[in-house]
């Protein structure tokens, strides 16, 4: 895991924010963002979902197709996955 180096001012800001029960966006330390989850939102996929968490909106679509076995490995099929995702 990469280490993160914080300046003394950043450490002070974080510690006092916790002590004062404040976050940068005005929420308290125990306040959570409203989360919304929708499934099957993209019709031409094997599966899709849209997740909204606060101001973050994520759309994911997954497509799976069965492939024909390769000539050199006729007893071993394979599964091919295509994943598209957007964050906006």
Q: What's the confidence (pLDDT) of residue 80? A: 67
Q: Does residue 77 form part of some domain?
A: no
Range of the domain at 20: 1-31
Q: Residue 79 in contact with residue 67, Cβ under 8 Å?
A: yes
pTM for the full predicted model: 0.54
> What percent of the chain stands above pLDDT 70?
86
Long-range contacts formed by 78-84: CB under 8 A, 24+ apart? 84/60
Lowest mean pLDDT among 5-9, 40-44, 50-54, 79-83: 79-83
Q: pLDDT tens across 9-36, in order?
A: 999 988 998 899 888 888 888 888 889 9
Q: Does residue 70 form part of some domain?
A: no
Pairing state of beta strands 56-67 and 78-87? antiparallel
User: What's the mean pLDDT when you consider all of the chain?
Assistant: 84
Domain count, the chain: 2
CA distance 34 to 50: 14
């Amino acid at each position: 895991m990469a280490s993160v180096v914080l300046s003394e001012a950043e450490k002070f800001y974080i510690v006092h924010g916790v002590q004062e029960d404040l976050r940068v966006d005005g929420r308290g330390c125990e306040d959570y963002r409203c989360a919304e989850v929708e499934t099957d939102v993209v019709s031409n996929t094997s599966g899709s979902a849209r997740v909204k968490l606060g101001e973050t909106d994520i759309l994911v679509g997954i497509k799976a197709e069965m492939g024909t076995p390769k000539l050199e490995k006729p007893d071993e099929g394979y599964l091919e996955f295509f994943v598209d995702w957007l964050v906006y």
